[in-house]
Structure 1
């Protein structure tokens, strides 16, 4: 698939021909590389590959209680649906992923199917609402002026700002599993980082790596640590010292890595993995000029910041963190989508766009973000296919067999390893926890280690995989919003993924030694 260029018409090569000189006469013309496929193509390929594997993997189920599988109850099931019905599952998987429909045509002869799972409709609408809100704010001129003003003031302290922002996103990840919520911040972070002289890769990774590493080292995250600890029969606070040490060290590692790249491209812009476009240069040029904020623009920026702060307040489970003086609203994506739509209307009217201009900006903004929303829908479709074919529990049962009967040190590392493929197929941290912990946690008793170590190994594997997996709506949606290609992101992440892998294995081995 072409990325904005038209391939030249192929011609037959002449034998023994010398390489042609380039236009500048400085060397041979480089052979044009095939462009890396778009996020849509990657996800479609993954979807088809997983669908094909469902014909090879045997179907099976665990008996469940309160939605959690029961150890020792895995059994084979017969899937009576034929090829054409399963082809229909493939065809409908994006739509079923949007609505959260499973087991529509699987034809299982035994009860206990998944039935329903969380669809992407809430996230889909949330992304469109954020797009509307960002576009309305941009149309008022306040966001561009505010970013330019901030870039001016922090130009000599931009490294400190980068580290602080990454640490803030990491804090959100470790406390409440900040994931899809990060999609709302790209519209703010990209112009800020471009204005400071960085590139889109820095803007994307400050958010994605920050929140991702925080989730990897979750301390009290109720959606990962909380669900897993409950499924393992232990308290959320069990093992928190090890996880806290992991969070501090891994966040520092990630911040140093991103900062090193940022300083390298500042010194030599040609080493950027995401070369600037004309739009990027325009944003940077605006940030370099003198800017004065009007009273109306200051009001709009205050509403802009207040909306994001209220979003964070509304989704954090304060009661689970034993903070009693703040109410837990328990908002999720439907409420957050409504918040951003209302905020877009208020900002548009206060910002001087009037009724017609506000309505137009909301429509245009939602349209600009529709690509990222569709990527989320495609990613959820992969889980639908696995559930409908009843192979998710088969994968889990195979992983369970792989870690039985090992020593404590090897067990801790193996628990991390066996959760990696499961995290790929089940990118939801809470879904992964509810699925795997009732089966894997009791194995800790036989290995002579704490069950909290199993929880730490699970969440580390889930967080590590979800930093790069193409089945994650957070990764693919975030890259689409940042306009960073997936192959560029993988090139950036490869060394960091290796360092995180070694660091996590070391922490788990240490945890097993002192357990």
Structure 2
């Protein structure tokens, strides 16, 4: 009986071995067969490559576009603006090899404020993370909003939009993102949601800017329009942009929560999820005594920040200085040693290094055009292009021109001082009210601030959130088209009714 059993085992093994050999021979034959070539998928180049190409094109343009200049004259509030009737061509001075080589270093110098602020923000929030305060706060907020997490999105967005419409500081996105990012991850959203809450909200507020001194106030002063007039239409624009922007972010956030793999930054967020997403974690995080005292100091410092921005006109340098002190004080009060505080700053600096460098590299595009003296020629040419449009489309044409020019000068006040001295008198010739020309400038400047990689604060905000630029474009571009449609409707209406508010 045993011999029969042994014989059957031998047969079974032989068949198994033979089958395996046959499988191996089949696989070898398949390997020898010519494989169909896989189609190469397009991969977005690195942002450095994109910006280098833009800088190179700007340098080439200095050999093609005639050099020209406007005469500078004193403007509102001690600023320098241009005389729109003073444009003249000058001797061409194209960018040479050495000038091109220095474009990025000079860009970093020109954008030093934003670069430094980005480093400081990254360092300060890493120190706060090392104290454990952020982890405890996120845990408590997560438990509090676990059943109504989606409601957090519109509430935060309305607050950020309203603040920006009053004070016009889109750069506060750099402060908002590190604060809300851990919460968004803990609530099972992603980095894009956190970046969108800050960027979409502040852009809606800044663009409408019903009491915004940076774009509305300065634009109206340059155009010689009564300060903060036309309030009703701008409030309607604010509500329209904010509501549609909020719905867009809510739609995306809901999709990510239901299907996390649909997140545009699913892979990038893996480390953040391990830090902040405690799925099924029953552990309760509590503040110890020193953390409670340190948390009180955080609120004190943010109170000082609000006072400084609103009452003292603080901007990036002042805020950066405050955040350095805040990181040191809060860290040591919470129990960190001086060395641990320094290590926290260093780690934060490393995390935002790429984003800070991008800001400087992006600035190189404008540096090349300014040194090649073609910026004023481009402004003059854009103004001439608008003057050739039909009357009905003139206001819309102004908006398109301002939007495109925002790629070169992504500063709201800078764009107002360069373009409005030309667009305001031009609007008189075209039959467009000056109030409408200011609105066209606001819309073109605002909507372009969070799409063009030459916008320093925008790229720095993406770096703090850990969102690649091309993935942000994929998220924002459809909303941009919707917002541009709204802009055209408002401008066409203003033109039809000769709005002068």
Inter-partner Cα distance in structure 1 for 2:356 and 2:36 = 48
Once the two structures are overlaid, the 10-residue window that deviates more, 270-279 or 68-77, is: 270-279
Shift of 1:370: 2.5
> Does structure 2 conserve the Cα–Cα contact (< 8 Å) formed by 1:129 and 1:341?
yes
Shift of 1:360: 2.2
Q: How does 1:400-439 map to 2 (within 5 A)?
A: 400-404=383-387, 408-439=391-422
Inter-partner Cα distance in structure 1 for 2:395 and 2:411 = 22
Residue 72 of structure 2 corresponds to residue 64 of structure 1: yes
2:44 equivalent in structure 1: 36
Q: SS of 1:54's equivalent?
A: helix
1:102 equivalent in structure 2: none
Q: How does 1:275-424 map to 2 (within 5 A)?
A: 275-276=266-267, 277-286=269-278, 289=281, 290-316=284-310, 328-404=311-387, 408-424=391-407
> Does structure 2 conserve the Cα–Cα contact (< 8 Å) formed by 1:194 and 1:283?
no
From 90, 94, 100, the counterpart of 2:104: 94
2:19 equivalent in structure 1: none
Shift of 1:80: 4.4
1:224 equivalent in structure 2: 215
Which structure carries more helix by proportion?
A: 2
2:448 equivalent in structure 1: 465
Change (3 A) 1:394 1:301: same
1:186 equivalent in structure 2: 177
1:448 equivalent in structure 2: 431
Inter-partner Cα distance in structure 2 for 1:498 and 1:56 = 32
Inter-partner Cα distance in structure 1 for 2:295 and 2:39 = 48
> Does structure 1 conserve the Cα–Cα contact (< 8 Å) formed by 2:436 and 2:495?
yes
Shift of 1:309: 4.3
User: What TM-score, normalized by structure 1, do the two folds share?
Assistant: 0.84
2:249 equivalent in structure 1: 258
Shift of 1:461: 0.4
Q: Deviations over 1:279-328 (max 9, x none)?
A: 13213433763322333323333333443443233223xxxxxxxxxxx2
Q: SS of 2:387's equivalent?
A: coil
> Does structure 2 conserve the Cα–Cα contact (< 8 Å) formed by 1:163 and 1:255?
yes
Q: SS of 1:398's equivalent?
A: helix
Residue 62 of structure 2 corresponds to residue 54 of structure 1: yes
Give unpaired runs (5+ residues) of structure 2: 1-30, 75-79
Q: Deviations over 1:391-417 (max 9, x none)?
A: 111111111112226555322111111
Inter-partner Cα distance in structure 1 for 2:244 and 2:389 = 31
Inter-partner Cα distance in structure 2 for 1:190 and 1:402 = 43
Q: SS of 1:156's equivalent?
A: coil
Inter-partner Cα distance in structure 2 for 1:311 and 1:337 = 10
Shift of 1:248: 0.8
Q: SS of 2:301's equivalent?
A: helix
2:12 equivalent in structure 1: none
Inter-partner Cα distance in structure 2 for 1:88 and 1:234 = 45
Q: Deviations over 1:235-292 (max 9, x none)?
A: 2312222111101110000000000111112122222211144313213433763322
Shift of 1:137: 0.6
From 19, 35, 41, the counterpart of 1:17: 35
> Does structure 2 conserve the Cα–Cα contact (< 8 Å) formed by 1:348 and 1:358?
yes
Inter-partner Cα distance in structure 2 for 1:365 and 1:32 = 37
> Does structure 2 conserve the Cα–Cα contact (< 8 Å) formed by 1:59 and 1:391?
yes
> Does structure 2 conserve the Cα–Cα contact (< 8 Å) formed by 1:314 and 1:329?
yes
> Does structure 2 conserve the Cα–Cα contact (< 8 Å) formed by 1:39 and 1:480?
no
Structure label with greater radius of gyration: 2
Aligned-pair Cα RMSD in Å: 2.2
Inter-partner Cα distance in structure 2 for 1:130 and 1:398 = 40
Once the two structures are overlaid, the 10-residue window that deviates more, 332-341 or 445-454, is: 445-454
User: What TM-score, normalized by structure 2, do the two folds share?
Assistant: 0.87
Q: SS of 2:84's equivalent?
A: coil
Inter-partner Cα distance in structure 2 for 1:501 and 1:271 = 26
Change (3 A) 1:358 1:394: same
> Does structure 2 conserve the Cα–Cα contact (< 8 Å) formed by 1:124 and 1:374?
yes
2:28 equivalent in structure 1: none
> Does structure 2 conserve the Cα–Cα contact (< 8 Å) formed by 1:123 and 1:180?
no
> Does structure 1 conserve the Cα–Cα contact (< 8 Å) formed by 2:66 and 2:92?
no
1:174 equivalent in structure 2: 165
Inter-partner Cα distance in structure 2 for 1:72 and 1:304 = 52
Aligned residues: 460
2:3 equivalent in structure 1: none
Inter-partner Cα distance in structure 1 for 2:229 and 2:150 = 35
Inter-partner Cα distance in structure 2 for 1:191 and 1:396 = 43
